[in-house]
Structure 1
Amino acid sequence: MWPVFWTVVRTYAPYVTFPVAFVVGADPQPVEEEKSISERREDRKLDELLGKDHTQVVSLKDKLEFAPKAVLNRNRPEKN
């Protein structure tokens, strides 16, 4: 009996599974798409930019004080 049952199921499987898959796949409620990582990053960066005052910037003179020594001078011994 079981071999006959499995033969019938195997033979008519496409006729049974297609309507089931069609009903499951045809979801009437639109699914809201999740934002990608890059879109969320861009939104976060825009929010950060909106909160800043762009007229207050560090002057170039202040930036030069913290500049590291030249690369070529790093290995030379300091003269006393």
Structure 2
Amino acid sequence: MWPILMQFLRANAPYITLPIAAVVGVIGYNLESLISDRYTPYNKPVQDQRYERMEDELLKDPTNVKKLKYQENVLGKNVSPSLQKN
């Protein structure tokens, strides 16, 4: 009896496991929807955010640019006391 039953199950495995997998999937999906919070806050599209940043950069005052010039001597910042000028 057992060999006949096992042969039947082996031959029809896809027909037996598919409904079982579907039931397990539906139960898992519904449990997840009950447990988890699916609320996602609204954000502007990334492309719109990029355009706004580009507009902000273009609207800055072009005359108020810090000059690309050293304000101090770069080599004199972390000088040891023995090398400092007195």
| Same fold flag (TM > 0.5) | no
TM-score (norm 1): 0.38
Higher relative contact order (CA 8 A, sep 6+): 2
| Structure having the higher Rg | 2
TM-score by length of 2: 0.36
